[in-house]
Amino acid sequence: MTVRLCLCCLHRGQPIGWPAFFMIRKNPFRFFLLALTLIAIDQGVKLAVHQYMAPGFAGQIKVTGDWLKLHYVLNPGMAFGMQLGHEYGKLLLSVFRLFAMFGIGYYLVYLAHRGAPNGLLWAMAMILAGAVGNVIDSTFYGVFLDNAPYGSPTPWFHGQVIDMIFVDVWEGFIPEWVPVWGGQYYSTPIFNIADSCIFIGVCLILFFQRRFFGEQSVEEGMLPISGPDATEAAVVPASEPVDYNIENPDTNAGVVEGSEPEPHSASESISQEERKAEE
């Protein structure tokens, strides 16, 4: 049996693997647009809380029952109130956030140009939004909102992050038998929208990592980002179909490689004509 094919995706005479054929180089603009939208929401909520709410329990607002509340608190450390116990811990944290912000942005562009799954790109955009949101707080809030901790060497890069989302599931003293934290008072961490973006983005990557990374390898599943443009293809006109022999694949070497098939000898041509005449 011979099938007539039109090979329309050959790169420099070599067929592109099927995974690469479907992995199209993507424009990262829409993913950065999502990140910018989330950053704007995060900053708008933080500034509204700072302007219209009193800090602490005095300004606490119940949203849903007793378990979801708005609670204005300043966080001098990392997400969920964690801190670096060092004199220059805040400055180191702010510098780290800056490098992380640019690194995540670069990685998002890198993944988009290699045709990564949309789910992975949306998750990376959320992580980028969360990183940028908290970088803005720690870099500028000490100057413009005057909320740098007392004794800070400079208000720049020492701003405190504004947290307000309080999921009050449980609070109390941790049992003494618990290592390290035994006997300490514990309350559910208070966080903000930027922290939520980072948390949700990381969870999406962890939950769907097999879908994002398992179905394709770097060599076979994504287009190269260097060298000749992988989107360029040599097109075989539809008016010139190629004969592909399914019953005897060994004779298709020239078809697969994009070269002309080997001509048949005169005796083979005569024998084929005789068989057709007999039929």
Residues with catalytic function: 163, 195
As a whole number of Å, the end-to-end CA separation of the chain is 16
What gap in Å lies between CA 70 and CA 50, rounded to an integer? 12
- Residue 258 CB contacts under 8 Å (≥ 6 apart), including other chains: 7, 10, 13, 14, 15, 234
- d(C-alpha 173, C-alpha 116), whole Å: 46
DSSP 81-110: G----STTHHHHHHHHHHHHHHHHHHHHHH
Beta bridge partners of 185: 173
Nearest to 61 by CA among 147, 206, 140, 168: 168
At 63 the three-state DSSP class reads strand
Hey, is 67 helix, strand or coil?
coil
Residues whose CB falls within 8 Å of the CB of residue 111, separated by 6 or more in sequence, listed in order: 120, 121, 124
Backbone angles phi, psi at 166, to 5 degrees: -120, 105
In DSSP terms, 61 is beta-bridged to 70
23 in Cβ contact with 221 (< 8 Å): yes
